[in-house]
């Protein structure tokens, strides 16, 4: 089948880049963008496999996009709320629930 | 190499390069811009993979709505030029690289051990019969209509929740 292996490889690379991004950054907004990147990598897997498994893969991507939009809205609201409290979006300053 | 493969490889390398730039640029605005580029190349790859409707949604929803939200928050919090450098130290870089390599190796091992899918093409006849939107819309509004309604409720909850959380507490 055309381009299935290549799409899965690209998806794996993008997911790993997103994971590394979450691990090496301390800015909460950039970490959040990396999570969006990981969601998109999984979407690419679903779309690539939908050709042989069925159109349901594309429908599932639709739902993932909706949940990602809802998550982005709530997550950014939380970041704004935290910024009001700490005057920073650097996660090393958020110590309330840490040792 | 056919034209479609050429287009795929072009946008795949664009996606990988811009995602790498996204996690290494210091300014959050540059990161957001490179995220747009990554998501846009993913939309192009969706077109190559015959998911035309999702490609349009990807551009409208991600590049249009979510990224505007990100940029809006960055501007609102005044992080555009007055940002602290936030890339972690050398030790964390090594750990993150190690974790990334392990994760990549795991995915490759998983995929290489997977059984072959039957070489059928389920999407192209559907697209020919119903068009790009109809092929997605028909099962969406018949088999998955309950999930669709719940998604609508979820969006409402997220909207109300975002307003409540981000509202400045008065009194």
Distance CA B92, CA B100 (A): 12
Assess whether pLDDT exceeds 70 at residue A46. yes
- Please check whether residue A3 touches B, CB under 8 A: yes
For the domain made up of B1-83, the CATH class stated in words is mainly alpha
| Angstrom distances, CA of residue B53 to CA of A45, A47, B26, B61, B134 | 16, 11, 34, 12, 9
Assess whether pLDDT exceeds 80 at residue B3. yes
For B120-152, the pLDDT digits (tens) are 888 888 888 888 888 888 889 999 999 999 999
Q: Average pLDDT, stretch A11-37?
A: 92
Distance from CA of A97 to the nearest CA of B (A): 18
Structural domain boundaries in chain A: 2-86
Q: What SS3 state is found at A91?
A: helix
B168 contacts A7? CB cut-off 8 A: no
- Give alpha helix (H) positions in chain A: 4-24, 28-53, 56-86
- Model confidence, pTM: 0.90
Assess whether pLDDT exceeds 70 at residue A99. no
Listing DSSP states for B61-84 in one string gives IIIIIIHHHHHHHHHHTT-SSSPP
Span A2-86 CATH architecture: Orthogonal Bundle (1.10)
Site from A18, A29, A67 to mutate, B interface, most B CB atoms within 10 angstroms: A29
* A 4-43 → B contacts, CB under 8 A: 4, 6-8, 10, 12-21, 23-27, 29-30, 32-34, 36-37, 40, 43
Q: Which of A18, A67, A77 sits opposite B162 (nearest CB)?
A: A77
For B48-100, the pLDDT digits (tens) are 998 899 999 999 988 888 889 899 988 888 777 766 777 778 888 899 899 99
Assess whether pLDDT exceeds 70 at residue B168. yes
């Amino acid at each position: 089948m055309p381009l299935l292996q290549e799409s899965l490889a690209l998806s794996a690379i993008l997911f790993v880049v997103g994971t590394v991004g979450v691990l090496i950054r301390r800015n909460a907004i950039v970490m959040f963008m990396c999570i969006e990147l990981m969601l998109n990598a999984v979407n690419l897997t679903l779309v690539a496999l939908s050709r042989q498994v069925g159109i349901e893969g594309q429908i599932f991507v639709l739902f993932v996009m909706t949940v990602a939009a809802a998550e982005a809205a709530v997550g950014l609201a939380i970041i704004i709320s935290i910024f009001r409290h700490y005057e920073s979006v650097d996660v090393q300053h958020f110590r309330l629930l840490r040792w | 190499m056919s034209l479609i493969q050429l287009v795929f490889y072009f946008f795949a390398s664009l996606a990988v390069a811009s995602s790498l730039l996204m996690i290494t640029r210091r300014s959050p605005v540059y990161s957001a811009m490179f995220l747009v580029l990554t998501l846009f190349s993913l939309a192009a790859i969706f077109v190559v993979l015959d998911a035309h409707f999702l490609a349009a949604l990807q551009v409208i929803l991600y590049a249009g709505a979510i990224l505007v939200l990100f940029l809006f928050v960055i501007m609102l919090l005044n992080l555009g030029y007055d940002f602290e450098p936030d890339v972690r130290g050398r030790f964390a870089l090594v750990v993150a690289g190690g974790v990334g390599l392990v994760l990549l190796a795991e995915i490759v091992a998983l995929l290489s051990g997977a059984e072959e899918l039957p070489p059928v093409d389920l999407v192209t006849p559907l697209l020919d019969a119903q068009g790009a939107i109809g092929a997605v819309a028909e099962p969406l509004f018949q088999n998955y209509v309950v999930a669709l309604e719940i998604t609508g409720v979820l969006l409402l909850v997220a909207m109300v929740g975002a307003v409540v959380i981000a509202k400045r507490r008065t009194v």
